[in-house]
Structure 1
Amino acid sequence: MSELYLFSARASALERLQQITRDLSGANDAFGTRACVYATGSFGRLEAGPDSDLDLFIVLETDPSPPGKPLLNAVDEIKLKGALISAAEKNKLAKFDGGGRFLTSHKVGSFTEWLGSSEDDFRNTLTGRMLLLLESKPLVGNDTYAKTIDLVIAKYFRDYAGHEDAFVPSFLFNDVIRMWRTFCVNYEFHRKEGDSRNKIKNLKLKFSRMLTCYSGIVYLLAVYARDNRVRPDDVKAMIAISPTERLEAIVAADFGLPENSAATLKEAVHHALTSYSEFLGLTHSKKAVQIYTEDETMWRKKSYAFGRSLSTMIDCLGEVSPEADGLRRLILI
């Protein structure tokens, strides 16, 4: 597995991300105590290709006294966005999606204020919060980034006190599953009939979007299977590594599985990473649409097999104990 394209792509993406971060050092000095910027998408997953753009979220620190006015004024926010645009251009990245109209900001408490409400999706806080946890890398304002993560985790763990020895992260799991279903429904809304690019977008849904969500679920299920609990620090450890690294991490742990089940889990991870590596090789190609179209049936089968690999991981981890099976059941029903 050491020769997979995935690993060279990861190293390249990390190197490029580090250069972008260096190019934003001036913005970090000027604004990093009042805001944070984190990358999501292919850079956040450490798998950016030659034509990848930079998907960003901006979070603003607020005055602690009501009404919580942002500490970054409108002019400085424009300057920060200008620095982000300049860094993207300097690194010859694809133009921001939608002409930059998605380059919006949120207050530091917004990701928890609307959690679970009908406003959550409308305000894009569901996506911002989930991608913060599942595929993010900080570029500016590391302290605010960490503070935002702490606030979000605290919300999901509001019933943690008194249950530290056997805490089940059901609230978090349900929100991750909601994000996955939102990805699926949003795809159906935005796809255009007759557009050949829809096929690649559908494939990305079945690989990268699915992995973003279910790598987090599999990783935390593995922690629960091993420890019979999930702690806030376990979620932070999950956030700190990429989706593919989470799959690698679970085969390095000892879950007390029967020998056959352990072998099945390892094989499922190997198959998933190999399939995902092939998917990245396709999507990083300038002829991705043509290659996919020439053998659409094969790629569809690969995507279904990839999903089955993730399902197999969940089933294997659910076999560890009755408690782990209970969390596995929560994922399904």
Structure 2
Amino acid sequence: MFLSKTPVSLRPQILFSSDSFPNSKINPNPNPNGLLLKPLRVQPITASTAPPPTPAQTRVDILAESLPFIQRFRGKTIVVKYGGAAMKSAALQRNVLSDMVLLSCVGLRLVLVHGGGPEINAWLLRTGHEPRFHNGLRVTDAPTMEVVEMVLAGKINKTLVAEINMLGGTGVGLCGKDARLLTARPSPDSSVLGFVGEVARVDPSVLRPILADGHIPVIASVAADETGQGYNVNADTAAGELAAAVGAEKLILLTDVAGILEDRNDPGSLVKEIDIAGVRRMVEEGKVAGGMIPKVSCCVRSLAQGVRTASIIDGRVPHSLLLEILTDEGAGTMITG
């Protein structure tokens, strides 16, 4: 959406050459597998090989066209759930966070709720624990809960906050345990799922001064019950309940699919906009199934509690947040009440 001029790099680009330094005394074939490795030729990247900058007029036209959308959302709260494929790529992660900093700079109040399933899986495997799931939810025994807290409330949260700060925003790291932001209760399937919790209560008091100051709260989806026992809370569910509690204008779930599809096997059958009744019909018909059911359920629940719109968008698309908020086109499926 917002494009900037890319500076031309004058650093040399290193290329393999079959005829470079033919008289070198260095062994030209040190690889025992027979791959011929020779010294390298240097080819500088110049203005002629770099991508052309976006014309200045185009950039200001884009900014001008964004004005109605900025006016619509300025001062409004938008809760973004971040996870899935958008967290696997460093480039996409920077896109997401730079989008949030940009939107914060023009007056939107952003709340970022994050998961971290792939990273949790990796850490569990390192510690000799096989990740297990039941009905799309992570089975969380005591050792798994320790890993969940370490990864979500520690490593990932701190990384996201640091990146936001580096991009010029102000991130504030939190988890559901902080200031009783989220109070959990055991899942009805706790006998199978272990320390997987539902959201029993939300106290957004700690968020209000953070948002009023233009900062971005970054919230890990772990919480505790009344006794202090920690629980792993589904990040989609946590985001939906937080959106309702802060009176958000919009809930956005960043995921690794295009959105809700009329035909699950046809990416071209994206449903751009649908109401609650339509979503329920698609669930009954089996068109929404598997991991999409918890996502649409939390969207429907947040809408029922006063959130204006909820969107499931494709986090694999660069700057999908800007496409969703600052254009008519959007970047996925928007659900309305």
TM norm. shorter chain > 0.5: no
Richer in strand (by share): 2
TM-score, normalised via structure 2 length:
0.30
TM-score, normalised via structure 1 length:
0.30
Richer in helix (by share): 1
